[in-house]
Structure 1
Amino acid sequence: MTNRIALVTGAASGIGAAVATRLAADGASVALLARRRDRLEKVAAQITESGGTALVVPADVSAPESVAAAAAVVHKEFGDVDLLVNNAGLMRVVPFADGPLDDWRRAIDVNLTGVVNVTHAFLPALKRSAATRTTDLINVSSLAGERINPGMAVYGASKAAVSHLTRTLRAELAPEGIRVTDLEPGMIDATELADTFPAELRSMVDDLRAGLPAVPVAEVADLIAYVVTRPRDVNLPHLVIQPSKEI
């Protein structure tokens, strides 16, 4: 990973923070993108204290102008990104009929439109990088995009769209040397997502986790680190990570 330049969205916590920390530990220069500067600065401090290189880039993935400004900052400080991990996500679990439309729009704006905005903004850099070095685009989707989960209609639909977008991007970008991976996690120990659940659902999730331990976020980071360190002519297009006993 030495000399690689990575951007990780949703890097303030959970999977994103774990991935950013792992990539930096392996030698990459990592730009951390999320809305909350204070959270990003804590992650960046942990990285730099361990000898890594991190850049804090506060931005809202749902806002094209915010993402464009972030892309300019990253290019100025680091140069062309050759590893993009689209991880930012928002999970709202509630029956469809009970969910305010504003909640559904926000989920789609972050989960799907955010991937479109970030990928579009950084694609020129990825293409330039691919001309001379290994280049990766990884989109963190979800098994919820393949399964029927009551209360997760919009979240699942947005993640299904991310997976389809990723497959199509691979068809378009593979000839240019950009490796594209669709990563679909199952039950992951990203506690901040569960914090948004209704109280009765949090209790159910806690009970489920007691009998079916969730995958630690460090394992997701380890998998991504494996994917992006394969030989340049090897691509892992579709991966699922979930607890061994999760059906």
Structure 2
Amino acid sequence: MTYDTLSARTALVTGAASGMGAATAALLAAHGARVALLARREDRLTELAGRIGGRALPVTADVTDDESVAAAVRRIHDTYGRIDLAVNSAGVMLPNPVTDGRQDEWTRMLDTNVSGTLRVVRAVTPDLLSAAADGGPADLVNISSIGAHTVFPAYAVYSATKAAVTQLSASLRAELGPRNVRVTNIEPGLTATELGDHIDNDGLTAQLGGMFETLDALTAEDVADLVAYTTSRPRRVNLRQTVILPTGQA
């Protein structure tokens, strides 16, 4: 499927160093969008930009830092101008029982998954409102998780952060929708990315591995395709909430 309406868009994608963010950035660029790749790992961004070609701008940035996000948007403005499509894909998943008291993990997940999303929203909203006011499409896409409403033991804090993203998306839609900015919340199920590589609990690592052995998991490209489809609809159409699952998990 082609998404011709993406060819005039300027997109910002966080978490672009790997997984859903990298796949989304590559697909948007393949359909003609100019894409700013945001993540902390400069080497990964440079490599991805090289594969994408001239329609990609690697921008090393940390969504947990206010000035880093602001500086990234300034660089995008200097290079590409106004942003009319933003994808919040940066996230971290660090499951452990709450009784373990891993405040370091809680803080990292809250600051990346929730506050990081808010920092990007704050930085791009003026552009999105301007694009919409000029009669063009304007999209904010937040990548949440089925953990927002499905209970997984030991994933309480991660799930709470994703529930926050889902509720944030709904509230932003109420604020921005009347001004013609589309807000979409996507909740993937089991997806083959490196998100699980940071788990430091052997039992939970084995449990997740068992799920991948049992289920034909989604790929990052599956989620990217959904982002591209959603953001290429006519501006009157807002696919506001989508749950995407492996067939065996549905």
Q: Shorter-chain-normalised TM-score: which range?
A: over 0.9
Residue of 215, 233, 245 corresponding to 1:242:
245
Q: Which secondary structure state, in structure 2, belongs to the residue aligned with residue 27 of structure 1?
A: coil
2:87 is aligned with 1:82: no
By how many angstroms is 1:234 displaced? Answer: 0.6
Q: C-alpha distance in 2, partners of 1:205/1:73?
A: 39
| 1:28 matched residue in structure 2 | 33
By how many angstroms is 1:4 displaced? Answer: 0.4
| 2:3 matched residue in structure 1 | none
By how many angstroms is 1:65 displaced? Answer: 1.1
Q: Which secondary structure state, in structure 1, belongs to the residue aligned with residue 7 of structure 2?
A: coil
| 1:153 matched residue in structure 2 | 156
Deviations 1:106-150 (A, max 9, x none): 110000000100010111111111122111000000100101111
Contiguous gaps of at least 5 residues in structure 1:
none
Letter of the aligned partner of 1:187 in structure 2?
L
Q: C-alpha distance in 2, partners of 1:171/1:21?
A: 30
Identity rate of aligned residues, in percent?
48
| 1:203 matched residue in structure 2 | 206
Q: CA RMSD in A?
A: 1.0
Deviations 1:190-232 (A, max 9, x none): 1x11111223322222222112111011111111111011111
By how many angstroms is 1:99 displaced? Answer: 4.2
By how many angstroms is 1:2 displaced? Answer: 1.1
| 2:187 matched residue in structure 1 | 184
Letter of the aligned partner of 1:40 in structure 2?
L
2:179 is aligned with 1:170: no
Single out whichever of 197-206 and 82-91 deviates more from structure 2. Answer: 197-206
Give the structure-1-normalised TM-score. Answer: 0.96
2:19 is aligned with 1:17: no
Single out whichever of 57-66 and 107-116 deviates more from structure 2. Answer: 57-66
Q: C-alpha distance in 1, partners of 2:167/2:24?
A: 23
Deviations 1:85-106 (A, max 9, x none): 0010010011112142121111
2:229 is aligned with 1:226: yes
Deviating 4+ runs (over 6 angstroms): none
Q: Which secondary structure state, in structure 2, belongs to the residue aligned with residue 68 of structure 1?
A: helix
Q: Which secondary structure state, in structure 2, belongs to the residue aligned with residue 7 of structure 1?
A: strand
CA contact (8 A) 2:96 2:102 kept: no
Single out whichever of 99-108 and 16-25 deviates more from structure 2. Answer: 99-108
Q: How does 1:68-79 map to 2 (within 5 A)?
A: 68-79=70-81
Q: C-alpha distance in 2, partners of 1:99/1:11?
A: 30
Residue of 116, 133, 146 corresponding to 1:143:
146
Give the structure-2-normalised TM-score. Answer: 0.95
| 2:69 matched residue in structure 1 | 67
CA contact (8 A) 2:146 2:189 kept: yes
